[in-house]
């Protein structure tokens, strides 16, 4: 992609409304723009990162045996009344009366919708176990939207639901989802804490949160300084880790995932039953597994940055390489840049070609701000000597190699 043909409105100054580091960099790097409090537009760079995160999630969910669906955002309020969660969520729900005088809402989550689907279409133990998931926009009327994508009124979530005939099946699926989540977050370049948590309005007896330690995180957890143990802060919590006797420390964090053993909370209230092998009617045993997809963008930035900007992990980067010709009016420079661009594109490596007529300093600052993993710098002197300069964004290591070797280095770094 040519820079001149896309839309990357970078900012030199930090906008006043930016409350956290990730919010600042989201705006400065031209990833998103706020329409109103809690509602954001994803610009081309931000949308590419969002798609890359979704790709990672789908790959790991599919490999764990889940099947993707897409459920309605517009939901009848009546199904929420059957579980009583319309009262639990209260004013957080966006409620509407349509022209037919039906009471509907914009879905803050989808437990009721998926349970109704299962109630209608699952009748026998032979149809279970089953795991369904979706990636979809949710709506919550937050009292105080803040921190950009971290606490928004309109956001993107991956929610999965497991359906089993008994507790043993639920335990297996819960562990499968836990393991898939750990793989997802590792591929996203995140360090994760996993405290056991309160299930809240979701219900069920067991749940785990997936927390990203972050300076500007809105949640707090207790984390062991010696091992990976963590727990949600509560009154009377011990100072020492129960696993290794290390000191527990309060850590700010962003919640990026939450999984629940729901049991029969929804199946009983909504009549989602199946006939077991003996012909007896039993309630479906359920689990629920959520990831804040749009929130992950902010969490990744919080843990992957330096004083100059974002440092994207390779799998999430909007482009893998940025090519920077330092003089767009020099034929030799542009010829070398165009050749490298064509060769990388032929290998299906996503490349951003900075073809702008801008000073070298501006190009360098923008490239660092955007956080693209590899920078290919092409100037008059290097072209004259048949050399290309590579900068690895993470660590700022610079490598000068002959043209052919530079491209081989990029291929080895980015291709499987």
More confident residue, 10 or 243: 10
Assign 16 a pLDDT band (cuts: 50, 70, 90).
confident
Residue 176 located in a structural domain: yes
122-126, Cβ contacts within 8 angstroms, sequence gap of 24 or more:
122/163, 122/272, 122/274, 122/284, 123/273, 123/274, 123/275, 124/274, 124/275, 125/165, 125/274, 125/275, 125/276, 125/277
For range 101-118, the mean pLDDT: 97
- In tens, the pLDDT along 377-394 reads 999 999 999 999 999 999
Report the pLDDT value the prediction gives residue 200, as an integer from 0 to 100: 61
Model pLDDT, residue 242: 86
Q: Are residues 290 and 326 in the same domain?
A: no
What confidence category does residue 17 fall into, taking pLDDT thresholds of 50, 70 and 90?
confident
Distance CA 127, CA 119 (A): 12
How, if at all, do strands 130-139 and 397-402 pair? unpaired
Domain that holds residue 364: 321-414
pLDDT in tens, 229-256: 898 887 667 788 888 888 899 999 999 9
Kindly state whether residue 313 falls inside one of the protein's structural domains. no
Residue 316 lies in a domain: no
Cβ within 8 Å of residue 415, ≥6 positions away: 347, 349
Q: Is the pLDDT of residue 201 over 60?
A: no
Phi and psi at 324, nearest 5°, equal: -125, 90
Check whether residue 326 and residue 283 sit in a common domain. no
CATH of residue 275's domain is 3.30.930.10
pLDDT digits (tens, 9 = 90+) for 207-232: 899 999 999 899 999 998 788 889 88
For residues 318 and 29, the answer to whether their CB atoms sit within 8 Å is: no
Considering the domain architecture, whether residues 356 and 216 belong to the same structural domain is answered as no
Closest by CA position to 382, among listed 341, 315, 336, 317: 336
**329 and 211, same domain (yes or no):** no
**Is the per-residue pLDDT at 70 higher than 90?**
yes
Q: Kindly report the number of other CB atoms within 10 A of residue 141's CB atom.
A: 16
Closest CA to 177 of 220, 224, 129: 129
From 271, 306, 341, the end of a domain falls on: 306
Q: What is the CATH number of the domain that holds 332?
A: 3.40.50.800
Residues 92 and 235 in one domain: yes
* Boundary residue ending a domain (262, 283, 306): 306
Domain shared by 77 and 28, yes or no: yes
Q: Read off the pLDDT of each residue in 61-86 and give the average, rounded to a whole number.
A: 97
In this structure, are 12 and 158 located in the same domain? yes
What's the pLDDT score for residue 358? 96
Between helices 293-303 and 44-63, what is the axis angle to 10°?
110
* Residue 148 tokens, joined: 């950009």
User: What is the number of domains present in the chain?
Assistant: 2
* Residue 283 sits in the same domain as residue 403: no
- Can you read off the two tokens belonging to residue 401? 């190699």
Residue 311 within any structural domain of the chain: no
Let me know whether 333 and 289 are in one domain: no
Residue 236: the pLDDT is 67
Query: In the prediction, which pLDDT does 368 show?
Result: 98
Q: What is the mean pLDDT of residues 359-381?
A: 97
- 329 plus 376 within the same structural domain: yes
Percentage of the chain surpassing pLDDT 70?
A: 98
Peptide bond before 129: cis, by omega within 30 degrees of 0?
yes
357-366 contacts, C-beta under 8 A, 24 or more apart: 357/328, 357/329, 360/324, 360/326, 363/324, 363/326, 364/324, 365/308, 366/8, 366/10
Q: Is there a domain that residue 44 lies in?
A: yes
**What pLDDT does 196 receive?**
79
Q: Please give the pLDDT value at position 199.
A: 57
The confidence score (pLDDT) of residue 204 equals 62
> 40 — phi, psi (to 5°)?
-125, 145
Specify the DSSP element, H or E, that contains 411: helix 403-414
Which of 261, 276, 306 terminates a domain? The answer is 306
Specify if 312 maps to a domain: no
pTM (2 decimals)?
Answer: 0.95
Query: Which of 267, 268, 293 lies closest to 58, judged by CA?
Result: 293
Mark whether 246 and 155 lie in a shared domain: yes
pLDDT, residue 203, reads 57
pLDDT at 125: 98
Two tokens, residue 328: 């767009």
pLDDT in tens, 282-314: 999 999 999 999 999 999 999 999 999 999 999
pLDDT digits (tens, 9 = 90+) for 163-182: 999 999 999 999 999 999 99
Q: Which two tokens stand for residue 306?
A: 């330096």
Do both 258 and 386 map to the same domain? Answer: no
Is the separation of the CB atoms in 328 and 3 below 8 Å? no
The answer to whether residue 63 scores a pLDDT higher than 60 is yes
């Amino acid at each position: 992609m040519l820079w001149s043909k896309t839309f990357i409105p970078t900012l030199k100054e930090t906008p006043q409304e930016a409350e956290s580091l990730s919010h600042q960099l989201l705006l400065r790097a031209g990833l998103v723009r706020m329409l109103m409090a809690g509602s954001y537009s994803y610009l081309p760079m931000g949308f590419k990162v969002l798609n890359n995160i979704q790709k990672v999630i789908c790959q790991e969910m599919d490999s764990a045996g889940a099947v993707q669906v897409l459920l309605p955002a517009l939901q009848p309020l009546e199904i929420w009344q059957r579980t009583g969660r319309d009262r639990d969520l209260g004013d957080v729900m966006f409620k509407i009366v349509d022209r037919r005088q039906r009471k509907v809402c914009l879905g803050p989550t989808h437990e009721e919708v998926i349970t109704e689907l299962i109630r209608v279409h699952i009748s026998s133990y032979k149809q279970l176990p089953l795991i369904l998931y979706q990636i979809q926009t949710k709506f919550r009327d937050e009292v105080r939207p803040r921190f950009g994508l971290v606490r928004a009124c309109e956001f993107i979530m991956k929610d999965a639901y497991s359906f089993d005939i008994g507790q043993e099946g639920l335990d297996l699926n819960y562990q499968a989802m836990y393991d898939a989540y750990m793989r997802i977050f590792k591929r996203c370049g995140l360090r994760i804490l996993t405290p056991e948590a309160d299930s809240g309005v979701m219900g069920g007896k067991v749940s785990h949160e997936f927390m990203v330690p972050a300076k500007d995180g809105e949640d707090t957890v207790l984390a062991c300084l010696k091992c990976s143990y963590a727990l949600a802060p509560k009154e009377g919590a011990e100072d020492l880790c129960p696993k290794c006797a290390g000191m527990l420390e309060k850590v700010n964090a962003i919640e990026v995932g939450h999984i629940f053993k729901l049991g029969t909370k929804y199946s009983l209230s909504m009549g989602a039953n199946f006939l077991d092998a003996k012909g007896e009617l039993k309630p479906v045993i359920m689990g629920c597994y959520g990831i804040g997809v749009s929130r992950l963008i902010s969490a990744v930035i919080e843990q992957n940055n330096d004083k100059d900007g974002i440092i994207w992990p390779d799998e999430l980067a909007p482009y893998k390489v940025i090519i920077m010709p330092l003089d767009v009016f020099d034929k030799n420079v542009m010829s070398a840049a165009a050749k490298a661009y064509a060769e990388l594109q032929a290998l299906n490596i996503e490349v951003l070609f900075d073809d702008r007529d801008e000073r070298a300093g501006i190009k360098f600052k923008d490239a660092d701000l955007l956080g693209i993993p590899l920078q290919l710098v092409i100037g008059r002197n290097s072209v004259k000597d048949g050399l290309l300069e590579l900068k690895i964004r993470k660590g700022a290591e610079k490598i000068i190699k002959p043209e052919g070797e530079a491209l081989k280095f990029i291929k080895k770094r980015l291709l499987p």
